[in-house]
Each structure stands twice: as C-alpha cells, then as structure tokens.
Amino acid sequence: MSSDHERPATLVDLIEPVGLFVLPALVVGLVVSALSGPGNFVAGVAIGGLFGAILAGLRRGFVAVQTSDGLERRQRPTPDDTLWARLADVEYDPRYDRVLTVGLFGIAVVAFGAIPFVDPQNDSLTIRLVIVGFFGLVSGLVSLGASDATDR
C-alpha cells in the first residue's frame, strides 16, 4: 500500500467469499427446485455450492483495500518463502526418477501378480489389488514421461 490514506478492508475480504459461495448455491438450488420439483433442492444447492467454491477460491487471490478514491481490489502478493516455493527450488539427482519408475512398476507387478493367489470369494481384496496395480502402472508411466530418461 503506497499512501497513508489506504487501509485494508478486512470486512469486505470476509463477506465477499462467503457471498460468492452461498449465493450461487441458493440460486441454483432454487432454480433446480423450480424446474424439477422441490425434492431436488439439495442437489441444486450442492451443484451451486461447487460453483460457488470455485468463485470463492478465485476471490482469495485478491485483497480489498480502502483508498481515498473508494474500494479497490488488488492481487494478493505471493510470498516467495512458502513451503511450495522452497520445494519448487529443490534440486535432485535425475537418477531418482529411474528409481521411482522402477519402484512403481514393481508395485504394479506385485499387485497384479498377487491376484491369482487371492481367494475368489474375497472381491474387495481383488479390487484393491487392481487399484494398487493400476496406480503403480500409471504413476510409473507418468514418472518415466516426466523424467529425463526419455530425452536420450
């Protein structure tokens, strides 16, 4: 804030995100219940709430400032010393990409290889093994695609 006539508008910063979350939820809920019956009001509120959550999240990127000219919204300054900024600056050895890829493929092979040895009546364990196997396979492929190993 550059001058002495500026001050943060904390109340506006609190009220606007709440309004951006609640108003779309109520409007969509009322429209859905008017079009398809009052039994679908809750579903409309849920759908509108999702849209409102997106709007409220976007509003968090701005800060309200009361100036001599009126109320202004400015982009919130991003600190350079956050956890995510420090993690983005971490340098690591590219060999770890290959180790991670091999480890994830190993998890997939073990999970898929264990399926024939599971009791056929135990469907939940079979489904869990399939999910873990696909997680290992897809994550290994993503790790391989993101690594420098494919650049050679």
Rounded Cα–Cα distance for residues 54 and 22 (Å): 12
pLDDT in tens, 42-86: 999 999 999 999 999 999 888 888 888 888 888 887 777 778 777
Provide mean pLDDT across the span 118-146: 91
Residue with tokens 């943060």: 8
Q: Starting at the edge strand that comes first in sequence, how are the strands of the sheet with 62-67 ordered?
A: 7-8, 62-67, 70-75
Residue with tokens 């993690």: 87
What is the pTM assigned to this prediction?
Answer: 0.50
Going by their DSSP bridges, the two strands 70-75 and 7-8 should be labelled as unpaired
In this prediction, residue 75 carries a pLDDT of 86
Question: First CA to last CA across the chain, in angstroms?
Answer: 50
Task: Write the CA distances from 69 to 10, 38, 50, 65, 81, integer angstroms.
Answer: 17, 46, 34, 10, 33
Report residue 121 CA to chain centroid gap.
37
